[in-house]
Each structure stands twice: as structure tokens, then as C-alpha cells.
């Protein structure tokens, strides 16, 4: 199996090199790894205490961030190395102020991973959620470097737990000092397969979204425009949700304000949205508006999490594609959250469905009925707000639990 895995990694690297001829993201992936080892901090003498956080992309970064902030505050003499696999995560956080170094992870070939780890010599390694690179894990295990999985979540269909996954399971079992998982089901699965070093701590994302909700960025001009109006915000949405929104806009009062922050903000995606919503104003043009636009299209990134503070209801995209995006951010402002059917991987979605603070829709009719029901009563919205905030507060504290066990 190891030979097959290494061959697959080699072919993957070759594919990225070929794809970089045509694809900008592949070029970023490849270019960011040039001379990577040379740019790393040289800690081969082990003089520095280095905490290495590895994240697949931006979402995992937000899960690791509370623990990074704790280390920076409570152990200021220790260093933080932050690595990303994805260009989207790296490009967004390459200037993250609390990390001493931010870089890409090398391709998971044994020689490259050994050179990387030999030079950095991390004291502790924190892998966020599910980023399992088996040559990296093997080198960390061989060098007996403390390695922790943060906010892990496991399902029985994962490759480790299949008949063909024995090699992967062995690496998993041997490489991690401890697993900090999101739920009891993940702990039970690991224990069923002989992994005992497991603690249920919950999801560190909850600590992060609650902290963000306490100090959201203010947009005074927008706040004046929205005063006294009902606001529905659609975050990280795709075409399916946009079709539903276009229909709902015609059904509901002209006093309703629709804020759409699509997942894709490239020129082509924004142009397509403008064609669908011909009366829309772009976020970048908002301050030239003398009155509140009925539809506001957010054509940039980095503001969505703060915009939720102005909304009454949130629609979160992804539920008709690979899976729903972040529903914890709107929930942290007490909003009811509407999303599509692809939510089974996210236990917070099921929790909100059980609490009647989350609403799964399958079609346009479901969407309009959900909005009509939610908008029928201010009292209902207040009850949902209390339920959402109580749920999140009850689930918070994962970062403190991890800190206490490790440090």
C-alpha cells in the first residue's frame, strides 16, 4: 500500500505541474512550493520551541486560530509556524500577524517531508480536522515529535476503517500523541479500531465564531441604510440558492432587503449575479448609493462574518453541492439558518434542525415557505435567537480543554 500511495503522490505532483500551464490556482500551488525548504526557519539545533499548525485551507485555519491565539498570549516566547495545503488559505493568511512563519506544506514525498521536519524541528504539531499526509505522519512518528489532531471528526466510511485501509489505520494509530475530536461518535469509532488516546472536546470553530460575534466589524453607512428594514443575508451561496433568491425576491415585500455574499467573487460570477438581479448594487459601490438598495451583492471577501449582525435570517450555501458552508457564523448572531440537504457531515446542522433553529430546504417551494414562517412572528425570531446562543455557549470551550490537556 505504501508503494501505491507514493506512486499516487508522484502522479499528483506531475498532474499539478501539467495543470499549472492552464490553471491559475495550480500555478499558485506550484509556485508557492519553489525553494520552500530554503525559506524555512533553521531550527536544526532545536534552540526554539516551535508549535507547528497545519491547515488544509481557510476553514481549518479558523479552527486552529483560537489555540494559536492562546499560545501567543500565554507562551509568548514560543514560536508558531503555520502551513497551508491550499493556495486559497495561504493567500488569505500569509500575513497572519500571530504566526512567526507562514508557508505551504511540501508535496507529501518522504524525502521532502524529512527535509522540512529536519530543518524546522517542531516541538509540537497540531493538525487541524482531517489533513492526513502519511509520509509527513511517518516522519513525525519516527522522530517522536508530539502530534495532535484538533477538532477531528471521523465516520465509518473513512478509508482508515475499510478492509483496504489497514496501512492507513496503522499510520494513524502510531503517529498521533492524542486525538481531540468533535463528538462522541468519532471517539467511539477510533476506540473500536484500537485507538485509545482520544478526548471529546467539541469544535474549536465555536470558540472562534463566538469571539468574532462579540466584536464584529461595524459598517456605519450600511447600518443607517438598513435601519427599520427586514434583512435576509445569503452567505457563501451558489447558483441553486441564487435561483431561489430571485424567485423569493418577487414574492416578498419590496421593503425586504437581500444581501448576497456569493462563494465565488470573481468577475464572471459577479456579472452573472448582476444579470439575475438587475436592480442590485455592488458592495464596492455602496457608499455612492443615496438610498438602501433592495439587493446588495458583496463582491469581495472578508466581510460576510460581520454582515450577519444586520440580518434577521441567514441562508447558507453549499447544501446543493459538496456540502453546506459555515452555519456557525450566522448562528453566533442568533439567526435562524436555512440550508440545503447536503448537511449530513455537520453535526451542528443536525443540532439546529433538532432545535428548530435550522431549516433544511429541498426546493424553491420549501425555501419560500421557510421564509414565510420565520417572518410571520417577531416572537419566533427572538426565541430562535435565544436557542442559538444557548446552544453555542453550551458547546464552547474546546480550546480551553485542549490547552489544559496539552500544556
Q: What is the pLDDT of residues 125-140, one digit of tens each?
A: 999 998 899 999 999 9
The whole-number average pLDDT for the span 347-362 is 96
Give the closest residue to 325 by CA, choosing from 216, 247, 406, 241. Answer: 241
pLDDT digits (tens, 9 = 90+) for 21-47: 999 889 999 999 999 999 999 999 889
Q: Is 148 a residue whose pLDDT tops 90?
A: yes
Residue 136 class from Cβ within 10 Å (0-12 exposed, 13-18 middle, 19+ buried)? buried
Tell me what pLDDT residue 88 has. 86
Q: Phi and psi dihedrals of 235, rounded to 5?
A: -110, 140
Tell me what pLDDT residue 253 has. 79
Alpha carbon separation from 326 to 60, 63, 161, 214, 254 (Å, rounded): 11, 12, 27, 17, 28
Q: What's the rounded Cα separation, in Å, for the pair 213 and 330? A: 9
Tell me what pLDDT residue 163 has. 87
Q: Which domains does the chain have, with CATH numbers?
A: 2-200 (3.40.50.11720), 217-395 (3.40.50.2000)
% the chain with pLDDT above 70: 100
For residue 382, what pLDDT band results from cuts at 50, 70 and 90?
very high
Amino acid at each position: 500500500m505504501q508503494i501505491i500511495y507514493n506512486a499516487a503522490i508522484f502522479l499528483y505532483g506531475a498532474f499539478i505541474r501539467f495543470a499549472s500551464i492552464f490553471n491559475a490556482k495550480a500555478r499558485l500551488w506550484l509556485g508557492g512550493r519553489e525553494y520552500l525548504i530554503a525559506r524555512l526557519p533553521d531550527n536544526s539545533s532545536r534552540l526554539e520551541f516551535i508549535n507547528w499548525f497545519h491547515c488544509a485551507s481557510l476553514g481549518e485555519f479558523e479552527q486552529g486560530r483560537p489555540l494559536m491565539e492562546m499560545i501567543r498570549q500565554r507562551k509568548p516566547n514560543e514560536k508558531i509556524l503555520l502551513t497551508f495545503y491550499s493556495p486559497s488559505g495561504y493567500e488569505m493568511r500569509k500575513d497572519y500577524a500571530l504566526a512567526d512563519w507562514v508557508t505551504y506544506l511540501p508535496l507529501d514525498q518522504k524525502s521532502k517531508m524529512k527535509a522540512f521536519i529536519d530543518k524546522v524541528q517542531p516541538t509540537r504539531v497540531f493538525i487541524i480536522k482531517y489533513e492526513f499526509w502519511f509520509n509527513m505522519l511517518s516522519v513525525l512518528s519516527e522522530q517522536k515529535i508530539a502530534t495532535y489532531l484538533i477538532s477531528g471528526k471521523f465516520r465509518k466510511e473513512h478509508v482508515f476503517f475499510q478492509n483496504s485501509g489497514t496501512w492507513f489505520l496503522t499510520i494513524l494509530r502510531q503517529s498521533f500523541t492524542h486525538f481531540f475530536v468533535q463528538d462522541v461518535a468519532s471517539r467511539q469509532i477510533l476506540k473500536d479500531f484500537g485507538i485509545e488516546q482520544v478526548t471529546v472536546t467539541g469544535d474549536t470553530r465555536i470558540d472562534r465564531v463566538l469571539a468574532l460575534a462579540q466584536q464584529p466589524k461595524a459598517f456605519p453607512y450600511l447600518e443607517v441604510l438598513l435601519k427599520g428594514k427586514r434583512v435576509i443575508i445569503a452567505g457563501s451561496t451558489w447558483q441553486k440558492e441564487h435561483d431561489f433568491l430571485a424567485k423569493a425576491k418577487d414574492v416578498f415585500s419590496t421593503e425586504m432587503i437581500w444581501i448576497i455574499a456569493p462563494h465565488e467573487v470573481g468577475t464572471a460570477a459577479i456579472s452573472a449575479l448582476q444579470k439575475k438581479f438587475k436592480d442590485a448594487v455592488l458592495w464596492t459601490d455602496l457608499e455612492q448609493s443615496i438610498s438602501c438598495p433592495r439587493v446588495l451583492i458583496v463582491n469581495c471577501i472578508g466581510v460576510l462574518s460581520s454582515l450577519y449582525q444586520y440580518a434577521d435570517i441567514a441562508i447558507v450555501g453549499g447544501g446543493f453541492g459538496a456540502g453546506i458552508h459555515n452555519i456557525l457564523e450566522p448562528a453566533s448572531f442568533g439567526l435562524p439558518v436555512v440550508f440545503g440537504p447536503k448537511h449530513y457531515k455537520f453535526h451542528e446542522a443536525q443540532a439546529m434542525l433538532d432545535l428548530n433553529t435550522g431549516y433544511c430546504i429541498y426546493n424553491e417551494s420549501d425555501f419560500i415557505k421557510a421564509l414565510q414562517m420565520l417572518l410571520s412572528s417577531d416572537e419566533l425570531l427572538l426565541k430562535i435567537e435565544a436557542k442559538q446562543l444557548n446552544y453555542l455557549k453550551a458547546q464552547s470551550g474546546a480550546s480551553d480543554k485542549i490547552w489544559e490537556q496539552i500544556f
